[in-house]
Amino acid sequence: MERFSNISMAVVRRLPKYHRYLRELLNNGIGRVSSQELSRITGFTASQIRQDLNCFGGFGQQGYGYNVEELYQELGNILGLNRTYKTIIIGAGNVGRAIANYTFFEESGFKLYGMFDNSPKKIGDDVKGHKVLPIDEVEDFIKENEIEIAILCTPKEGTQKIADTLVNCGIKEIWNFAPVDLKLNSDVIIENVHLSESLFTISYLLKEREDLKKKKK
C-alpha cells in the first residue's frame, strides 16, 4: 500500500485509541483533560501523546490541557470520520454477520449497503435488513452503488480471486478478515485483521507468566 504522507503508521494506529477514550470522556461529561490524564487512561506516555498530536498541529494549551470535545472532533476529521463510506461485506458467516450487526460502524460513518456469499444456504438470508446476495452479482452492485470499501470475511480458499474482482470493479479499500495476506496493486488500501494473531499473543503472554512462576518456585 502506497503512503501519501510522512506520518508514521505507529502514530496513525494510536489515533483511534485517543479518539475512543475522548468519546468516553465526553460521554462522562468531562470537558477538559491534560496529557497526563490521557496518559493514565490510554497507557501511552504524556510525552508520546503530545508528540503524536503535534504531528497534526497544536491542539492543547499549556496549563489548560485539551478541550475534550474540540480534540475529539479534530481527531475525527483527521481519521476521516466526517463523511459517510459505502461498504459491502463479502461472506455471510459468523464474522460477517457480527460486523453487520455492530451498530457503532454505521454510527461512525461506515454504511453497509449489501452482503454477499456463494453458499446457497446463506443466499437470501436477512442480516440487519440486508438480503444476502449471490457473489456473482457483486460486480454490478459495486458499480451501480459506487461502493468504496469491501469487508472480506471469507475462508482462505478463493479470497485472492474475490479481492482481484473487487479491485477490478473499482474498490480501493479492503478490510480483510480472511486468513490470507492479499497481493494487490500498491494503490489499494488493505487492513489485514488476523484474529488468531491477537489470540496467540495472549497465549504467549500467559505461557510467559506461567514459566516465570515456575522459575520462582
Which pLDDT score is estimated for 83?
A: 94
The residue extents of the domains of the chain are 9-78, 85-196
CATH classification (class only), 9-78: mainly alpha
Q: How confident is the model at residue 5 (pLDDT cuts 50, 70, 90)?
A: low
Contact 184, 173 (CB under 8 A): no
Contact 112, 128 (CB under 8 A): yes
As a whole number, mean pLDDT of residues 32-60 equals 90
The 10 Å Cβ neighbour count of residue 102 is 13
Instruction: Cell numbers for 100, please give them.
Output: 453487520
Which pLDDT score is estimated for 63?
A: 65
Which pLDDT score is estimated for 24?
A: 96
What CATH code would you report for 85-196?
3.40.50.720
Indicate whether 3 pLDDT > 70.
no
Q: How confident is the model at residue 57 (pLDDT cuts 50, 70, 90)?
A: confident
Q: How far apart are CA 58 and CA 45, in angstroms?
A: 17
Q: How confident is the model at residue 2 (pLDDT cuts 50, 70, 90)?
A: very low
As a whole number, mean pLDDT of residues 32-50 equals 93
pTM, to two decimals: 0.87
Q: Residue written as cell 504467549?
A: 204
> For residues 182 and 3, which has the higher predicted lDDT (pLDDT)?
182
Q: How confident is the model at residue 203 (pLDDT cuts 50, 70, 90)?
A: very high
